[in-house]
Amino acid sequence: METAPPCFSCGSVSVSATLALKQSLTVRPAPNNVQLHPPSICLQMHKGRLSIIHYRMNDASGTGITQRRTRSRRSRSPKKKPALDPPPTAGEADNPKKKKEAAAAGETLSVGALHQNGDPLGWRDLGKSVVRWICQAMRAMASDFAAAEVQGEFSEVRQRMGPGLTFVIQAQPYLNAIPMPLGLEAICLKACTHYPTLFDHFQRELRDVLQGLERQSVVPNWRGTESWKLLKELASSAQHKAIARKASQPKPVQGVLGLDLEKVKSIQRRIDDFTTNMSELLCIERDAELEFTQEELDAVPMPDTNSDASKPIEFLVSHGQAQQELCDTICNLYAVSTSTGLGGMHLVLFRVEGNHRLPPTTLSPGDMICVRVCDSRGASTTSCMQGFIHNLGEDGSSISVALESRHGDPTFSKLFGKTLRIDRIQGLADVLTYERNCEALMLLQKNGLHKKNPAIAVVATLFGDTEDVACLEFNQLVNWAEAELEGLSSYGTFDDSQRKAIALGLNKRRPLLIIQGPPGTGKTCLLKELIVQAVQQGERVLMTAPTNAAVDNMVEKLSDIGLDVVRMGNPARISESVASKSLGEIVNARLESFQTEFERKKADLRKDLRHCLKDDSLAAGIRQLLKQLGKAFKKKEKETVKEVLTGAQVVLATNSGAADPLIRRLDSFDLVVIDEAGQAIEPSCWIPMLQGKRCILAGDQCQLAPVVLSRKALEGGLGVSLMERAANLHEGILATLLITQYRMNDAIASWASKEMYEGLLKSSSTVSSHLLVDSPFVKVRLFFLISRLFFILTQVCTH
């Protein structure tokens, strides 16, 4: 990763790799005929945003005048500071005397307050001259933006543009090209890094430019242009919302929690610190994932040694490793057809050139892949288009992919008629997952203590101190005791620790429960019973897990007992064994008769249309009927989806999948259950948790931890799961441990019990002396099958 050169003054190095953070800015000549060279500014990333460390103006002799953001001794007075230090009024902005004073006082101008509020800054903060300077620059940027679309070059603009820091950097050349107002350079330098201000002005200027093109008949509808759509995409992204948000104080909710206002503010401060830190760590981890993924994609392809070097190779082995029989890269594919699945998922069918069969491959449905245009030898020539494997054709020569791009996307249109390659990539750099994690943190910070938040008691429990939690119980808002369950003690299939966990989990006044289940302690069966009992007492349940495999496993177990369950998520990543419980399959089954009638009517109308093409008025009427028919079908589909989800007793999805708008639009759930919580990073757990009144975290923090690539993010705390953090809170009253294992010989379990569970894990008498030789599938009594514990030493052999 490239880095910018160290700053000439402070020696700092930019943390943003490919961005030229030292910008050259054009300014008007200084008074007294002193020629000033373009100044240099040193920018620094802090909490995900740019801030100015200092800027330097050089005269003709090379003498540098460095303006630092450090405030002078004179400015450190107890007087109340303004929002921006100090914002010139309209009169000051146009007064030459005031301009000189402002230039001389540049050393006292601070940028610290600039990023404390996400609101755009206006003329009251910046002055009319600075606002006009920004407007001119954003007008030029918006004009180039629209011109690129008119000239058919918008795909390049789309690839470069992004929210936050990316947008700020893209705006710098346009700001540099406009001379700064004399004497207001310091304020201009601050404003040029304030993303909410730049974005707000750019949005207005782009709208004016597009409306002008519409009046000139260059574009038919300015709202339908790709430029405006991209702007709306940026505005709706989680990163934009996290930066360009209005500052808000926590609302008094002491009537809900029974805590005084100072306690609520203290909890809110902890939430603010947590979300700020986690947002930074997510950004660091995101950069590491992108770097790792790019390394995977940039791996040198290895052609088949048996193929003619002059002919296109049939497949490549990824990662630049030695050739293998199976690979996760396929070349020489062509896009032959497209279709749209439920929810707008775009499916593209690819075939091998010449209808040859696909080579042996490790690709399977649900794998994250990258589609790129390639040359005859397999080298990629375009950027990556991300998607998932939907299915492998039964004929062995086709492969169906679900792509995130849509019709009308210039990059997508370039796929047809080109030679393509598909590479499997690690499911790490998934922009949707990253944005949903960021959005969950934003919602936690903004609404965590809001009185309408269903999970307010969960939030208060996890961010309040032990005294706060005791106060909640004293005010009878929560109850940490076990629920009284008649007949539960007679369940012979559960041991004492399992019965205790079920009783705690069914207590409706207990906001949070941690169930730690060591290997073989029956955690999955316990969760199944707990969910069944919760449904029987009239609760709606949202069940999630960090992986699709864990979710599908629970779908199978709950389906066997007749519960009305709905599996949410990408159809390409849902196991075939539970596909019938997916939302798409359920909706299609209910719409089968309606869709048959819809197809019949549509075929009849199209037949009539072919017979009356010469009659324009009649043909227009039939086209209108076809349009109305399509709208009626979409309306029916939406109604059916809502009906299915509303009537479901249990909704299941991955942690990230719980952010699906279809789930968010539902009423809050009574209970949220997160399985394998010890393997999930904490931000992902807040996605489902904020949608339920109480939550159960199940797993084992002593087993697999969350996967974190960046060592910096790991050391910063991203690798600490919510389950691990919560289990140690409030003297352990949130957690319960399953203490009897039913899987392994006691010789194996005793070591794990001593090393990881403080000697609390016991072995059931049914397995404590069990040997492999006792299994019914063993036909030969080998020596290691009669051993209680047998070690096999493995090592890599090299030749």
Domain with residue 425: its CATH number is 2.40.30.270
Q: Are strands 541-545 and 398-403 parallel, antiparallel or unpaired?
A: unpaired
In this structure, is residue 225 part of a structural domain? yes
pLDDT for residue 207 is more than 80: yes
Least confident of 180-184, 523-527, 572-576, 734-738: 572-576
Q: 224-250 burial string, b = 16+ CB within 10 Å, else e? A: ebbbbebbeebeebbbbbbbbeeeeeb
> 515 and 616 in one domain?
yes
66-86 per-position pLDDT tens digit: 343 333 333 333 443 333 344
> 726 and 617 in one domain?
yes
> 313 and 218 in one domain?
no
Question: What does residue 163 show for φ and ψ, rounded to 5 degrees?
Answer: -75, 165
**pTM higher than the cut 0.95:** no
> 308 and 231 in one domain?
no
> 335 and 198 in one domain?
no
- Counting Cβ atoms within 10 Å, is residue 411 exposed (0-12), middle (13-18) or buried (19+)? middle
Helices 165-176 and 195-215, packing angle to 10 deg:
70
Average pLDDT, the chain: 76
576-619 per-position pLDDT tens digit: 889 899 998 999 899 988 888 888 888 888 888 888 877 788 88
Among 695, 716, 741, identify where a domain stops. 741
Residues facing residue 58 across a β-bridge: 64
In this structure, is residue 623 part of a structural domain? yes
Give the DSSP H or E segment for 584.
Answer: helix 583-590
> 526 and 382 in one domain?
no
Name the range with the highest mean pLDDT among 316-320, 392-396, 427-431, 602-606: 602-606
Report the greatest alpha carbon distance in the chain: 101
Give how far Cα 14 sits from Cα of 258, 310, 603, 748, Å. Answer: 47, 46, 62, 52
In this structure, is residue 30 part of a structural domain? no
Name the range with the highest mean pLDDT among 19-28, 305-314, 616-625, 679-688: 679-688
> 319 and 234 in one domain?
no
Average pLDDT over residues 524-535: 94
In this structure, is residue 3 part of a structural domain? no
614-624 per-position pLDDT tens digit: 778 888 888 88
* pLDDT bracket for residue 437 (50, 70, 90): very high
CATH number, domain with residue 666:
3.40.50.300
> 329 and 196 in one domain?
no
* pLDDT bracket for residue 297 (50, 70, 90): low
In this structure, is residue 1 part of a structural domain? no
715-771 per-position pLDDT tens digit: 999 999 999 999 989 988 999 999 999 888 888 888 888 888 989 999 888 888 878
> 91 and 171 in one domain?
yes
Among 689, 708, 741, identify where a domain stops. 741
List CB contacts of 255: < 8 A, sequence separation 6 or more: 451
In this structure, is residue 18 part of a structural domain? no
What pLDDT was estimated at residue 620? 85
pLDDT for residue 251 is more than 60: no
pLDDT for residue 458 is more than 80: yes
Name the residue range of residue 220's domain: 40-241
CA 376 to chain centre: 36
In this structure, is residue 20 part of a structural domain? no
Average pLDDT over residues 265-288: 92
What pLDDT was estimated at residue 341? 64
656-690 per-position pLDDT tens digit: 999 999 999 999 999 999 999 999 999 999 999 99
In this structure, is residue 795 part of a structural domain? no
> 528 and 393 in one domain?
no
> 668 and 569 in one domain?
yes
> 201 and 308 in one domain?
no
What pLDDT was estimated at residue 488? 57
267 SS3 class: helix
CA 355 to chain centre: 38
Distance CA 269, CA 275 (A): 10
In the chain, the number of structural domains is 3
Among 241, 273, 307, identify where a domain stops. 241
